[in-house]
Amino acid sequence: MLYTIIKALHIIFMVSYFAGIFYLVRIFVYYKDTDEFAEEKKKILREQYTFMARRLWNIITVPAGVIMTVCGITMIFLNLGLMKTPWFHLKLTFLMGLAVYHYWCWKKVLQLKQLDGNTLGTANIKLRQANEIATFILFLVVFTVILKSQVIEYWWQLIAGFFVLVFLIMMTVKLVNKKKKK
pLDDT at 48: 96
pLDDT tens digits, one per residue of 114-172:
998 899 999 988 998 898 899 889 988 998 999 988 888 878 888 888 889 888 887 88
CA nearest 35: which of 113, 122, 107, 154? Answer: 122
Which residues lie closer than 8 Å to 169 by C-beta, 6 or more apart?
132, 135, 136
So what's the pLDDT on residue 161? 85
Give the pLDDT score at 174: 78
Numbered residues of the known binding site: 10, 91
Binding residues for heme: 10, 91
3-state secondary structure 28-53: HHHHHHHHHCCHHHHHHHHHHHHHHH
The structural domains of the chain, with segments of one domain joined by +, span: 1-147, 149-181
Q: What pLDDT shows up at residue 83?
A: 95
Q: pLDDT digits over 51-66, tens only?
A: 999 999 999 999 999 9
Rounded CA separation 47/117 (Å)? 6
Averaged pLDDT of the chain: 92
Nearest CA-CA partner of 17 in 95, 79, 120: 95
